[in-house]
Amino acid sequence: GRILKFNKFGKNFTVIDDSYNANPDSVEASLNSMSFRNSNAGRKVAILGDMLELGKDSIKLHMELKDALLRNKIDGFIAIGDHMKELYNIIPDSMKIDYFKNVDEFIPLIEQYIQENDLVLVKSSKGTKTKKILDRLINE
């Protein structure tokens, strides 16, 4: 994924853009990579959208990402989509930031969810359209 540094909304933050591809292994790998980036001791925030085309085990496969969130000490999780909501429901409350049905509900509110020095991972299957989050951050 691309690493993008922003100074927006009066805050400095870093985004790992993996908004074009997601399966359980690649999401876990992206979460693992956050462990190695100390973003000036800011929060590690994962914005994860639904992984598509996983078949009948889809919800189970989403929920199994809980271990990777915990192991990599992710500070905050924003879930986008019905299947990520199932993961959101089972993680510790301290890690929950918010859940959105789709990316268009989240985009107008981005500013209020980002804090100074955050390291933010944006990842989903292409069809979940989290690329729109990057488009808004880059083009606004």
Closest by CA to 76, choosing from 126, 34, 130, 138, is 34
pTM: 0.94
Q: ∠ at Cα 99 (16, 120), nearest 5°?
A: 15
What pLDDT digit, counting tens, does each position of 35-72 carry?
776 656 789 999 999 999 899 999 999 999 999 999 99
Which of the four pLDDT bands, split at 50, 70 and 90, describes residue 4? Answer: very high
* pLDDT value for 18: 86
Q: ∠ at Cα 133 (128, 136), nearest 5°?
A: 140
What pLDDT digit, counting tens, does each position of 71-110 carry?
999 999 999 999 999 999 999 999 999 999 999 999 999 9
